Amino acid sequence: MSQVVNAGFPILTATAAVPAIGAILTAAVPAARRTAAKWLALLVSLVTLALAAIVLVGFEPGGDRYQFVESHSWIKDFGVRYELGVDGIGVALIALTALLIPFVVLAGWHDADPLETKSSRWRPTQGFFALILAVEAMVILSFEATDVFLFYILFEAMLIPMYFLIGGFGDRAHAGSDENAAAQRSYAAVKFLLYNLVGGLIMLAAVIGLYVVAGNFSLTEIAEARASGQLEMATNTERLLFLGFFFAFAVKAPLWPLHTWLPNAMGEATAPVAVLITAVVDKVGTFAMLRFCLGLFPEASKWATPVIITLALISIVYGALLAVGQRDIKRLIAYASISHFGFIIMGIFAMTSQGQSGATLYMVNHGISTAALMLVAGFLISRRGSRLIADYGGVQKVAPVLAGTFLIGGLATLSLPGLAPFVSEFLVLVGTFARYPVAGIIATTGIVLAALYTLVLYQRTMTGPVKEEVRAMPDLRVRELAVVAPLIALLIFLGVFPKPLTDIVNPAVTHTMSDVQQKDPAPEVEAAK
């Protein structure tokens, strides 16, 4: 657990500072220069991506557990430090976040335009892209924070820009009147905020309790003290603190039964913001389970594992079943994500190296696949002006490229072999079978249901007779192809050759397994006669 503070350029701070400063500059662009605000936001996101690439390339998987470490006193009286460091899991998720934001910006290029008026002093375009960059800054910094209090501040602060992105820039393809659409967006935004605030308040009580017990907020110092026997927690105390942290992370993830805010939020948000929710922000919850729940409370994590595995299984099956019955394209993808998060959480708490490696890969691959599918769905919905599956049919005959990319995104969602999510799901199931075979068997039903809801969605929207309303539908434009094509290429590349990602992730998983003092179950091989 030892770490060396780097004396060089603070690259981790820079990866978060660039989008934070970019958000301020974008918001300050004059009202008449909304196109300039878009290009500025795109430029800032590309610079952030370049910095994340430097971190990714410079990270040494076989080196210290936490690298590029920065540590500065912040609130000295309470032992709060501005302390950053990344392991392989954090690096992978920083790279995912930085990769997706330029595509989110490009895909949302015109999403705030309908709000613009010649006489309006409000600058919705500038605000829309500034809020996206603000979320990026907070998410990246949360993946870097090794001070528990600093992480908590970021965990809560990212709710504010997300609230405005959902409520103020919602989906315009809404059945009913404008007043009804605004009411639905407001309801979704408030529900998102309240659920996550309640989780955050419970976590705050646990953060304070951790300080009372440990005397500081440093993840690395607390973990070292526990490993060396210098810090001992009473069993009930550790379990209560674990539950406080886990509850907040389960809301963010989201895990059944704390999931109900997600379909509303993703359904009412624009497609790029829906990607921001499920592919970026929600990953903070599952990442924090690995870093903080298992790192700080190893015994309580093992104690809670049977219940958490059960909840994860319910999420897998329940989310998939509800996806099968959906009539709304975006809500279908939302329920599919609930099922996928069940796989991720099950992999984390299977307490095997395969399960945790698979869960980390799943976080990355789910982010890419969901972004591809949701963004293509957004392009489809913007053309027809409806989210209802029944309003489509025969799209592949009039827009074959759109239909083809939609199919690949869907096949990735059902974890087709050869595409990136398959590797993740396979490892999660293998890791779960090794320790909880019954849970592994039940979880495979999620695969069957995923094939059902994905293929039925494609059949009803893309095949069959061409409906009159889609007859004049244009195919993907250059900007839209620039969004989708790299994501699909990455899905194929990581599906065929996941080694670059596993090489980064596996050493961090080994450290996590050591934190909880778990080893992979020995294979049961019948002795030779």
Separation between Cα atoms, residue 273 and residue 370, nearest integer Å: 12
Tokens for 194, please give them: 């309240």
For residue 158, the 8-state DSSP code is T
How confident is the chain (529 residues) per 10-residue block, as mean pLDDT? 58 95 92 88 96 93 86 83 92 95 92 62 80 96 94 93 87 59 84 92 93 86 81 87 94 90 89 92 93 90 93 94 92 93 94 92 94 93 88 90 93 92 93 91 92 92 87 90 94 92 90 79 61
Residue 98, domain extent? 11-515
In a domain, 521, yes or no: no
**Per-residue model confidence (pLDDT) at position 523:** 67
What is the predicted pLDDT for the residue at 511? 85
In a domain, 156, yes or no: yes
Placement of tokens 């409000």 in the chain: 122
Give the torsion through C-alpha atoms of 446, 450, 453, 454, to 10 deg. 170
Place of tokens 């995923």: 450
Establish if 520 belongs to a structural domain: no
Identify whether 340 is part of a domain.
yes
Instruction: Give me 336's structure tokens.
Output: 């599919």
Give the C-alpha separation, 294 to 345, whole Å. Answer: 12
Q: Specify the DSSP class assigned to residue 115.
A: G
Q: Which amino acid is present at 226?
A: R
Q: How far apart are alpha carbons 407 and 210 in whole angstroms?
A: 47
d(CA 361, CA 340): 12
Domain count across the chain: 1
The 3-state DSSP composition of the chain as helix, strand, coil percent (nearest 5) reads 75, 5, 20
> Cα separation of 508 and 499, whole Å?
15
Q: How far apart are CA 60 and CA 58, in angstroms?
A: 6
Q: How many other C-beta atoms can be found within 10 angstroms of the C-beta atom of residue 312?
A: 28
- Look at residue 474 and tell me if it is in a domain: yes
Nearest residue to 291 via CA among 352, 360, 209: 360
- The closest of 150, 18, 17 to 73, measured between CA atoms, is 150
How is 51-114 classified by DSSP, letter by letter?
A: HHHHHHHH--TTS-SSEEEEEEEEEGGGTEEEEEEE-HHHHHHHHHHHHHHHHHHHHTTTTTGG
pLDDT at 2: 41
User: Is residue 526 situated within a structural domain?
Assistant: no
- Alpha-carbon distance of 95 to 62, in angstroms, equals 19
Work out the angle between the directed axes of helices 437-462 and 329-349 (0-180°, nearest 10).
160
Tell me if 522 is assigned to some domain. no
pLDDT of residue 524: 64
pLDDT at 1: 40
Backbone angles phi and psi of 74, in degrees to 5? -120, -70
What is the Cα–Cα distance from 170 to 185, expressed in whole angstroms? 6
Rounded to whole angstroms, the Cα distance separating 466 from 305 reads: 50
Residue 364: what are its φ and ψ, rounded to 5°? -70, -50
- Going by their DSSP bridges, the two strands 67-75 and 80-86 should be labelled as antiparallel
By C-alpha distance, which of 295, 310, 303, 305 is closest to 236?
303
pTM: 0.92
